[in-house]
Amino acid sequence: MIQRVRLVFPVEKAQAEAELLWDAAPETCKSIAELLPSSGMSHHAIYSGSECVLILEQTLRLPPENATTQVTRGDVAFTWMAAGSHYGVGEDFAEACWFYDIDSEPRMWEGPVPVNVFARIVEPADEFYSVCRRMRREGAKPFGIEPVDD
């Protein structure tokens, strides 16, 4: 059972490690761990403040678990949305999302959306957070989530 994941912007060589919250979100941790490694293009969340996301390769449909809209810098979460459930959502998708400052609130145009907080960034991540901040101006970036070997 993995205890940590590495969040990586490979082009910028910026990364952070996050500890999985098995006690708070066991099913979400298990489901995410089974998908790893996962990679794709990360983008900045449009309505949520200081949030970046990675659309997952597989559309997991997990129930709420350790779900909240009250997030802070360093929280790593999961959510999924059904087609038509929110403005602009044309097809089902699932995402991993992470919050890089204190002004974050996961939301869509209509308002706050609870996310399953399943991990917490624990390693110093200043360069990682810097890349997240720059995504607002620079756009989407290659990104990966991988297990950390114990």
Report the C-alpha gap between 67 and 64 in whole angstroms: 5
Residue 135 backbone phi and psi in degrees, to 5: -60, -25
Q: How far is CA 114 from the centre of its chain?
A: 13
Report the C-alpha gap between 102 and 106 in whole angstroms: 12
Question: How many CB atoms are closer than 10 A to CB 144?
Answer: 18
Domains of the chain, by residue range, sit at 16-136
**What is the residue-level pLDDT of the chain in tens, covering all 150 positions?**
899 999 999 999 999 999 999 999 999 999 999 999 999 999 999 878 899 999 998 899 999 999 999 999 999 999 988 777 777 868 888 899 999 999 988 888 788 889 999 999 997 789 999 999 999 999 999 999 999 986
Q: Which amino acid is at 55?
A: I
Distant-in-sequence, close-in-space partners of 77: CB < 8 Å, separation ≥ 6: 71, 96, 97, 98, 99, 106, 115, 116, 117, 118, 119
Q: Which CATH number is 16-136 given?
A: 2.40.100.20
pTM for the predicted model, two decimal places: 0.93
